[in-house]
Structure 1
Amino acid sequence: MDRFAGQGRLAWWANHSMCLEMYDIDITVAVDPIGRRRATGRHAPALDSMQREGWDFLMEMDPHFSVTFPGEERGGFMVRVVEAEDGTLTLTEAPDWDGSANVTFDLT
């Protein structure tokens, strides 16, 4: 796949068997000259306030998601997501992500 434009889905996995949330996105994926996938997208539809709160929480915990396309139930590839102020999502392939993150909760 050199280029894809259409629908995709971001999934945030707590571990290999538990998906905490999925977000539909409009996405454009291109392969750069060294073979790495890069993508931009937007939430489709836009997030409501409750979804936004969950999104922000997950992004703060760990901005790594799997991205899948229509016809794929599970799999896809791992990406690191950065959201711009205007809501544009930039997804960078993260093949070396090991599925772990350091998360600290302040309970005081």
Structure 2
Amino acid sequence: MDRFVGQARLEWWANQSTCLEMYDVDITVTVDAAGKWRAAGRHALALDTTQSEGWDFLMEMDPHFSFAFPGEDRGGITVRVVEAEDGTLTLMEAPDWSSSGNVTFDLT
């Protein structure tokens, strides 16, 4: 695959068994001759207020998501997501990212 244009899914996992949220994205993925891929897109559907607040919260906590292509049950590629002011999403593969950090937040 040197180019994919379509819909995919971003998943934010709190740990190996808990996915806090999934977002469908319209995405274009390209792969260069060296095998490095780049992806850009946007949310497939506009987020409502609650979804937008959740998205902002997760992005602030940690902008790393699992990326799943159509037909995949669970994302297998870890990506760092950067969101531009106009809502465009840029995804960068994060092969060295480790989920070994600890995050604590109060749910009360």
- TM-score for the superposition, normalised by structure 1: 0.90
> Does 1:46 find its partner at 2:46?
yes
Q: 1:101: how far off? A: 3.8
Give the aligned residue type for 2:28.
T
Instruction: Show the 5 A alignment for 1:1-108.
Output: 1-101=1-101, 103=103
Q: 1:31: how far off? A: 1.2
Question: Residues of 2 paired with 1:105 and 1:22: CA distance?
Answer: 20
Give the aligned residue type for 2:55.
W
Count of residues in correspondence between the two structures = 106
Unaligned runs of at least 5 residues, structure 1: none
Kept in 2, the 8 Å contact 1:62–1:101? The answer is: no
Q: Which runs of 4+ in 1 moved over 2 A?
A: 100-106
Q: Percent of pairs identical after alignment?
A: 76
Give the aligned residue type for 2:51.
Q
User: C-alpha root-mean-square deviation of aligned residues, in Å?
Assistant: 1.6
Give the aligned residue type for 1:66.
S
Q: 1:15: how far off? A: 0.8
- SS in structure 1 of the partner of residue 90 of structure 2: strand
Unaligned runs of at least 5 residues, structure 2: none
Give the aligned residue type for 2:4.
F
Question: Residues of 1 paired with 2:92 and 2:82: CA distance?
Answer: 9
Worse-matched range after superposition: 93-102 or 33-42: 93-102
Kept in 1, the 8 Å contact 2:42–2:87? The answer is: yes
Kept in 2, the 8 Å contact 1:4–1:30? The answer is: yes
Kept in 1, the 8 Å contact 2:69–2:75? The answer is: no
Give the aligned residue type for 1:78.
T
- TM-score for the superposition, normalised by structure 2: 0.90
Q: 1:33: how far off? A: 3.5
